[in-house]
């Protein structure tokens, strides 16, 4: 029993990071469509930089820096040109897919799995530390939302942006900031996944970005209920893995589950009912 | 000239980015780039296939354009091409006994066409319904529905429905009788190109000159105004999405009957996204969809040709689509209805 | 008290120009024309003017929301250019809008805290400070209430607290008494007077002459963007420099047919056709609606006769918007019936020649059915319901001709050209609606509605934003329509503009969702 719980808690860390990032973004009024691509991209970069530098910490830091910079640029472009945020997010996902395949082929010579151990880099992942960090972030975010001016204004940027602009506060800055925070959290998730596996695999995120969005809405857009939602989804994933091992479910079908689940959550929770869809400002 | 700025910038940026990637991936960048620009036109085989692909894209892009005109984004194009394609391949599969007679054959052919169109329409109708009833963004639901369905279709094609007699991950081929023959061998270019072009023109005329077309356009631009004027705004939005899905289904039909003759895994292969990009570049104008699809087909064909001469392969299509979608979405459309609820004619 | 000039406008003009659209006709509108005015602390300065005279634009320039096209704004003697309202706030100028922009999701306290500096939101400290301010202004408000649930009057008070919290030297109030119940207005203005005594400079925007006369230390009058008068109320000897007839004269434009807005009572007058049927053509019974986050209406019942003009008056927040939406079928009422008696022969559609009565309950009440029954609707939201900024003139004029299969034939083109000519609007039909002025838009919308030959016409706030001349023209139009047998129903919250002796046959008042 205890090993199962520990396993679930450890498994939950990447999804929790991703969910918290999506939560910040959603509060600012931006649906974090780009999460999935950001996770995969940052995971790939983390492996690449770790192989280059030999240090997982440096790898994580460099990957996070690149991912945040990239999403910062896209966010700025979206704000300045009035682009459709959903399409922008989708293009990030598409670009991540293409870029990771290019990086993988050109740097590692393969479009398949890039294993750290066989290339001479040993990574010992302190699971407890990573998991604690994830839960710690959840608590931190809860405090920030309630007790800081930044958290207060972030929420207003999402619901009544004009209330900020007449006070001379630019909601656009908060939206761009939320993209960056989400990107950083995505890097945490991507690195956690990659180092946990000790390798980069194509489609590293496996739809977790979308599960994260579902968790945000299932958790009523509040940090602590989101943790509960994440644990729920992770438990489901754990059970699915066991079933798959037994041979019950074909692996191809499982690839579609995160999307189906997210759709189901959106239909049932109905975040849009009574107000404009969150994607449109 | 100003109205071409956005589309040209999008295509131009896409072109620039992908050529950079190609150059970086090749030992002979100049040679690769030469392949990029010349190969698609180097033989009738290349040109014909490019035009064929353009036709398919144009058909789906007309669908995307209609959805956009009616005020919705159809992001489920991939599954709306793939699933009807699979259905078509199943209905028209060979080896079902002896060859049918003329009338019987035509009935089956028409039946497959109808099934494909209806399947596509249904896949787009569901997100539209969710938007009308539960105010769930159709961008989200159409995307998620498609993304959830694609692995299922891949599983079916690679598993239970696979052609066991071959080593391909594809369904059995359709009967010879049902195949649309190429017009210009050795390429695959066939009559579907003209069907696509014709439908694009018809769509444009309907939107501009008819009552229903007017109501669709107005509902897309001003949904509150449309409701207030007594148009069935919800019904029109749903019709727009369904039509969009139907055209994607038709694309899947022609992909099977005119191009591949089998349903292989990943049939849609990014066509859904390219069609959306083409529609956006055409600024949702059905008349402009054909040149737009030609441009995009050229870009993708050129990239594929150049990839052959690089050191390694990579997912170039996604990169091109990503860049184009991002650039063209810049102030591409009014983002959904601008309700201005605060403004009852008064300043807020 | 000491007065000093805190801010000053010098030769400020604001011109709105729309980019040329497809028709190539750019559209210019001068909201302010070379206005120079000083604003001092310790003074209650009223800016008086008609709708559309430029009052709001003036204070928007002062508060940093609008950049002047020409002229300079001086603050504390230095020429300044505000980059945002926060900028103005830092220099000591705060504004309370007519429809305050608050975050509905947050509480009053949190809304006030939005603008504060500092990393942390110290709720208890802020609460004390705000309660003190509230006491000064005689405001009784629950700081923990979510703004969503507040009435318009309380929203105003919440916004006022937010503005005061910043400790401004100049406070701009945009028609504050419009949302206050009549009994509260005097209290509010007295509190404002006390703040003025403590040294605050108050700038009051209003279109009500009596209000201006009663409370001001200084009055300035705007007409069509120009400053036509500015002086203190009293001269050094304590004599009145301004009185009501002077102000009325300043506000007057060359009137059409000598009609002037007056505050007199509405009296009835028959429009003279004895053949008017005594049967009501439009009756509402027990209409109730309670949409989320909006005032509700309950048990609304009234009837209207053909050939008459019925007025329904209500203050903002009394449920006018809800009533409009319910009557036009844009929201679904909880209960009630709308019964329409279509006259024979010339109803909304060519549907037989027999008079017919149609009763529409909540599930059947929608704009399409109403129009089929011969009802025409002119909405309060001209910009987005009556038309749309991105639609071309032709597109929004042809809305009711879209039942045909083929459109944009000669008949349609002629119709559009005809309407444009009759309304005197120079435009290519492909011109976008956003380039038209409010008055032009209103005329086109009305023309379109009338062209469908309705027997019942329901208008909501039709006179809003129209200058005196256009309002008078509108009045004449409606009188004509009534004379020809149409049933006209007008919903408005500024009855004074239209109610010139005998305009309305029947007047009903909407108060807190109920009709009397």
A166 and chain C: CB distance < 8 Å anywhere? yes
pLDDT of residue B334: 38
Contact assessment for residue B132 and residue A272, using Cβ atoms and an 8 Å cutoff:
no
Q: Give residue-wise pLDDT tens across range A152-167.
A: 888 888 888 878 877 7
pLDDT digits (tens, 9 = 90+) for C142-187: 888 888 888 878 888 999 998 898 889 999 998 888 778 778 888 8
Please indicate whether residue C348 or residue A79 has the higher confidence score (pLDDT): A79
* B319: nearest CB among A82, A86, A98: A98
Would an 8 Å CB–CB cutoff place B214 in contact with chain C?
A: yes
Q: Of A190, A213, A211, give the one whose Cα is nearest residue A258.
A: A211
Nearest to C53 by CA among C250, C233, C203: C250
pLDDT value of residue B269: 87
C-alpha to C-alpha distance for A32 and A21, rounded to whole angstroms = 8
Q: What is the pLDDT of residues C282-293, one digit of tens each?
A: 888 888 888 876
Average pLDDT over residues C327-331: 89
Sign of the alpha-carbon torsion through A30, A34, A39, A43: negative
Secondary structure of residue C378 in the 3-state scheme: strand
Instruction: Read off the pLDDT of each residue in B184-208 and give the average, rounded to a whole number.
Output: 91
Identify whether the C-beta of residue B14 lies closer than 8 Å to the C-beta of residue B320: yes
Q: At CA C129, angle to CA C127 and CA C132, rounded to 5?
A: 105
Query: Chain B residues with CB inside 8 Å of A257's CB?
Result: 148
pLDDT at B311 over 60: yes
Residue whose entry in the numeric block shows the structure tokens 């071959």? B166
Q: What tokens does C201 get?
A: 């400079």
Q: Highest mean pLDDT: which of B39-43, B87-91, C259-263?
A: B87-91
Q: CA-nearest residue of chain C to B214?
A: C402
| C368 preceded by a cis bond (ω within 30 of 0) | no
Question: CA Rg, chain B, in Å?
Answer: 21
Q: Tell me the mean pLDDT in the region B101-113.
A: 85
Indicate the average pLDDT of chain C: 81
For residue C275, the model assigns a pLDDT of 47
Average pLDDT over residues C208-212: 81
Q: What is the mean pLDDT of residues C232-249?
A: 75
DSSP output for B203-228: HHHHHHHBHHHHHHHHHHH-HHHHHH
The whole-number pLDDT of residue C63 equals 86
Give the residue from C300, C322, C302 showing the smallest Cα distance to C311. C302
The CA–CA distances, whole Å, from C474 to C260, C445, C452, C467, C469 equal 14, 12, 18, 11, 9
Pick from A56-70, B201-215, C250-264: least confident: C250-264
Cβ contact (<8 Å) for A74 and B326? yes
pLDDT of residue B179: 86
- The C-alpha atoms of residue C307 and residue C483 are separated, in whole angstroms, by 6
Q: What is the pLDDT of residue A187?
A: 96
Q: Which of A147, A163, A274 sits opposite C102 (nearest CB)?
A: A163
Residue C101 scores a pLDDT above 70: yes
Taking only the tens place, the pLDDT of each residue in C35-92 is 999 999 999 999 988 766 788 888 888 888 888 888 999 998 888 888 778 788 888 8
Yes or no: say if A159 and A221 are a contact pair by the CB < 8 Å rule.
Answer: no
Is C166 in CB contact (< 8 Å) with chain A?
A: no
Tokens of C465: 């934003």
B279 has pLDDT over 90: yes
Gyration radius from chain C CA atoms: 25
Portion of chain C with pLDDT greater than 70, in percent: 87
* pLDDT digit string, tens, across residues B61-77: 999 999 999 999 999 99
Percentage of residues in chain C with pLDDT exceeding 90? 10
CB proximity A147 to C under 8 Å: yes
Q: Which of A179, A191, A40, A187 is nearest to A102 (CA)?
A: A40
Which range, of A80-84, B134-138, C250-254, averages the lowest pLDDT? C250-254
Query: Taking CB atoms and an 8 Å cut-off, how many pairs form between chains B and C?
Result: 106
User: How far is it, in rounded angstroms, from Cα C343 to Cα C352?
Assistant: 10
- Rounded-to-integer distance, Cα C89 and Cα A281, Å: 26
Residue C263 scores a pLDDT above 70: no
Closest CA to A213 of A76, A31, A48: A31
How is residue B81 written in tokens? Answer: 């091409």
Which of residues C342 and B342 earns the better pLDDT score?
A: C342
> Looking at CA atoms only, how far is residue B34 from chain C in angstroms?
42
Q: Which two tokens stand for residue B92?
A: 């028209």
In this prediction, residue B240 carries a pLDDT of 96
pLDDT at A129: 85
**Helix (H) or strand (E) segment spanning residue C206:** strand C201-206
Residue B326 to residue A256, Cβ atoms within 8 A: no
Residue predicted with more confidence, A207 or A114: A207
Name the percent of chain A lying above pLDDT 70: 95
Structure tokens at B246: 């139907």
Q: What is the 3-class SS of chain A, one letter each residue?
A: CHHHHHHHHHHHHHHHHHHHHHHHHHHCCCCCCCHHHHHHHHHHHHHHHHHHHCCHHHHHHHHHHHHHHHHHHHHHHHHHHCCCHHHHHHHHHHHHHHHHHHHHHHHHCCCCCEECHHHCCCCCCCHHHHHHHHHHHHHHHHHHHHHEHHHHHHHHHHHCHHHHHCCCCCHHHHHHHHHHHHHHHHHHHHHHHHHHHCEECCCCCCCHHHHHHHHHHHCCCCHHHHHHHHHHHHHHHHHHHHHHHHCCCCHHHHCCHHHHHHHHHHHHHCCCCCCCCCCCC
What is the rounded average pLDDT of the residues C17-42?
A: 73
A253 and chain B in contact, CB less than 8 A: yes
Residues of C in contact with A162 (CB under 8 A): 101
Return the residue matching tokens 């398919």: B56
* Alpha-carbon span C96 to C172, nearest angstrom: 6
Judge whether B269 and B280 are in contact, CB under 8 Å.
no
**pLDDT at residue C316, rounded to an integer:** 66
The predicted complex's ipTM stands at 0.88
Q: Of A266-270, B60-64, C351-355, which has the strongest mean pLDDT?
A: B60-64
B17 inside 8 A of chain A by CB:
no
**Strand pairing of C487-492 and C309-314?**
parallel
Q: CA of B155: which chain A residue's CA is closest?
A: A252
What DSSP state is assigned to residue C83?
S
Of C175-184, C255-264, C346-355, which has the strongest mean pLDDT?
Answer: C175-184
Partners of B330 on chain A (C-beta within 8 Å) are 77, 81-83
* Separation between Cα atoms, residue B224 and residue C325, nearest integer Å: 12
Would you call C385 and B224 a contact, using CB atoms and an 8 Å cutoff? yes
Read off the pLDDT of residues A178-217 as tens digits, 9 standing for 90 and up: 999 999 999 999 999 999 888 888 889 989 999 999 999 8
Give B-chain residues touching A248 at CB under 8 angstroms: none
How much is the pLDDT for B149?
95
pLDDT grade, residue C266 (50/70/90)?
very low
Contact C211, C177 (CB under 8 A): yes
Local structure of B157: helix, strand or coil: helix
How far is Cα C363 from Cα C369, in angstroms, rounded to an integer? 11
**Higher pLDDT pick, A223 / B97:** A223
Contacts of C248 (CB under 8 A, 6+ apart): C209, C260
Q: What is the pLDDT of residue C353?
A: 56
Please list every residue in chain C whose beta carbon sits closer than 8 Å to the beta carbon of residue A147.
120-121
Q: How confident is the model at residue C506 (pLDDT cuts 50, 70, 90)?
A: confident
φ, ψ at B169 (rounded to 5°): -90, 75
Please list, in sequence order, all residues whose beta carbon lies within 8 angstroms of the beta carbon of residue A234, skipping any fewer than 6 positions away: A8, A11, A12, A15
Tens of pLDDT along C420-478? Answer: 888 877 777 888 888 787 778 888 899 899 888 898 999 998 887 777 777 788 888 88
Q: How far is CA B10 from CA B22, B64, B280, B288, in A?
A: 18, 18, 10, 15
């Amino acid at each position: 029993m205890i090993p199962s719980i520990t396993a679930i808690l450890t498994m939950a860390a990447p999804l929790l990071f991703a969910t918290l990032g999506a939560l910040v973004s959603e509060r600012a009024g931006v649906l974090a469509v780009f999460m999935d691509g950001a996770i995969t991209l940052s995971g790939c970069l983390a492996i690449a930089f770790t192989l280059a530098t030999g240090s997982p910490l440096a790898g994580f830091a460099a990957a996070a820096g690149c991912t945040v910079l990239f999403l910062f640029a896209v966010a700025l472009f979206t704000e300045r040109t009035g682009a459709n945020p959903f399409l922008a997010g989708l293009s990030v996902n598409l670009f991540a897919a293409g870029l990771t395949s290019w990086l993988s082929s050109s740097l590692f010579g393969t479009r398949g799995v890039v294993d750290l151990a066989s290339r001479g880099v040993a990574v010992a992942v302190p699971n407890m530390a990573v998991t604690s960090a994830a839960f710690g972030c959840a608590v931190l975010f809860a405090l920030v939302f309630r007790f800081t001016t930044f958290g207060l204004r972030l929420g207003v940027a999402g619901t009544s942006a004009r209330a900020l602009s007449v006070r001379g506060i630019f909601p656009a800055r908060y939206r761009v900031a939320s993209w960056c925070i989400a990107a950083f959290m995505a890097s945490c998730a991507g690195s956690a996944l990659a180092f946990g596996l000790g390798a980069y695999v194509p489609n590293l995120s496996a739809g977790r970005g979308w599960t994260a969005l579902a968790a945000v809405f299932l958790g009523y857009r509040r940090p602590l209920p989101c943790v509960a939602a994440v644990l729920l989804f992770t438990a489901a994933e754990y059970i699915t893995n066991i079933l798959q091992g037994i041979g019950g479910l074909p692996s191809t079908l499982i690839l579609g589950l995160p999307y189906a689940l997210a759709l189901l959550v959106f239909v049932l929770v109905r975040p849009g009912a009574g107000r404009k869809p969150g994607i449109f400002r | 000239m100003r109205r071409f700025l956005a589309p040209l910038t999008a295509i131009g940026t896409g072109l620039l980015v992908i050529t950079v990637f190609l150059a970086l991936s090749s030992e002979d960048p100049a040679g690769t780039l030469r392949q990029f620009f010349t190969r698609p036109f180097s033989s009738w085989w290349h040109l014909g296939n490019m035009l064929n692909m353009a036709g398919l894209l144009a058909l789906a892009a007309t669908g995307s354009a209609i959805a956009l005109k009616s005020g919705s984004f159809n992001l489920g194009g991939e599954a709306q091409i793939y699933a009807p394609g699979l259905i078509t391949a199943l209905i028209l599969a060979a080896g079902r006994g002896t060859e049918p007679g003329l009338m019987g054959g035509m009935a089956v052919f028409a039946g497959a066409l109808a099934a494909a169109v209806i399947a596509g329409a249904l896949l787009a109708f569901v997100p539209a319904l969710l938007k009308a009833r539960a105010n769930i963004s159709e961008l989200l639901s159409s995307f998620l529905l498609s993304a959830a369905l694609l692995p299922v279709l891949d599983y079916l094609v690679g598993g239970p429905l696979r052609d066991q007699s071959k080593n391909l991950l594809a369904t059995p081929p359709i009967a010879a009788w049902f195949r649309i023959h190429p017009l210009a061998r050795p390429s695959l270019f066939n009559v579907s190109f003209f069907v696509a072009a014709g439908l694009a023109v018809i769509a444009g005329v309907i939107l501009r000159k008819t009552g229903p077309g007017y109501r669709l356009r107005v509902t897309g631009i001003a949904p509150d105004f449309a409701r207030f004027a007594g148009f069935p705004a919800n019904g029109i939005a749903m019709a727009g999405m369904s039509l969009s899905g139907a055209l994607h289904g038709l694309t899947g039909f022609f992909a099977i009957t005119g191009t591949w003759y089998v349903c292989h895994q990943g049939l849609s292969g990014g066509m859904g996204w390219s069609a959306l990009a083409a529609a956006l570049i055409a600024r949702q104008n059905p008349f402009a969809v054909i040149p737009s699809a030609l441009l995009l087909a050229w870009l993708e064909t050129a990239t594929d040709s150049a990839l052959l001469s690089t050191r390694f392969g990579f997912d170039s299509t996604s990169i091109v689509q990503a860049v184009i979608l991002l650039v063209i979405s810049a102030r591409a459309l009014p983002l959904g209805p601008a309700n201005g609820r605060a403004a009852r004619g008064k300043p807020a | 008290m000491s007065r000093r000039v805190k801010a000053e406008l010098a030769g400020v003009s604001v011109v709105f120009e729309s980019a040329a659209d497809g028709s190539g006709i750019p559209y210019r509108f001068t909201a302010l024309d070379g206005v120079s005015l000083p604003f001092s602390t310790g003074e209650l300065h009223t800016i008086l003017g008609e709708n559309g005279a430029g009052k709001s634009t003036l204070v928007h320039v002062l508060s940093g929301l609008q950049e002047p096209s020409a002229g300079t704004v001086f603050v504390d003697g230095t020429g300044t250019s505000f980059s945002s309202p926060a900028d103005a706030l830092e220099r000591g100028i705060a504004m309370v809008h007519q429809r305050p922009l608050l975050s509905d999701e947050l509480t009053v306290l949190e809304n006030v805290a939005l603008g504060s500096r500092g990393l942390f939101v110290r709720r208890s400290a802020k609460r004390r400070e705000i309660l003190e301010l509230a006491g000064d202004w005689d405001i009784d408000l629950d700081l923990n209430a979510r703004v969503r649930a507040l009435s318009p009057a309380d929203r105003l008070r919440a916004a006022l607290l937010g503005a005061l919290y910043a400790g401004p030297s100049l406070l701009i109030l945009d028609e504050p008494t419009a949302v206050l119940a009549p009994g509260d207005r005097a209290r509010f203005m007295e509190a404002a007077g006390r703040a003025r005594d403590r040294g605050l400079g108050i700038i009051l925007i209003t279109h009500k002459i009596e209000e201006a006369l009663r409370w001001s230390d200084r009055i300035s009058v705007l007409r069509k963007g120009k400053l036509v008068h500015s002086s203190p109320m009293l001269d050094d000897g304590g004599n009145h420099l301004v009185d009501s007839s002077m102000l009325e004269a300043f506000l007057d434009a060359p009137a059409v047919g000598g009609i002037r807005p007056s505050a007199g009572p509405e009296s009835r007058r028959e429009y003279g056709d004895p053949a008017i049927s005594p049967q009501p053509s439009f009756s509402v019974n027990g209409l109730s609606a309670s949409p989320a986050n909006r005032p509700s209406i309950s048990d609304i019942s009234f009837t209207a006769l053909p050939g008459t003009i019925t007025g329904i008056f209500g203050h903002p927040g009394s449920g006018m918007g809800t009533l409009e939406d319910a009557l036009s079928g844009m929201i679904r009422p909880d209960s009630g019936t709308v019964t329409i008696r279509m006259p024979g022969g010339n109803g909304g559609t060519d549907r037989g020649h027999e008079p017919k009565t149609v009763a529409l309950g909540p599930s059947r009440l929608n704009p399409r059915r109403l129009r089929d029954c011969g009802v025409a609707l002119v909405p309060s939201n001209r910009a987005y319901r009556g038309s749309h900024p991105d639609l071309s003139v032709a597109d929004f004029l042809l809305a009711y001709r879209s039942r045909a299969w083929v459109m944009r034939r000669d008949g349609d083109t002629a119709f559009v050209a005809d309407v444009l000519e009759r309304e005197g609007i120079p435009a290519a039909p492909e011109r976008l609606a956003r380039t038209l002025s409010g008055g032009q838009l209103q005329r086109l919308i009305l023309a379109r509605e009338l062209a469908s030959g309705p027997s019942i016409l329901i208008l909501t706030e039709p006179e809003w934003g129209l200058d005196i001349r256009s309002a008078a023209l509108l009045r004449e139009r409606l009188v004509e329509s009534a004379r020809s047998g149409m049933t006209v129903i007008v919903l408005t919250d500024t009855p004074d503009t239209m109610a010139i002796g005998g305009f309305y046959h029947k007047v009903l008042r909407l108060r807190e969702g109920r009709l009397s």
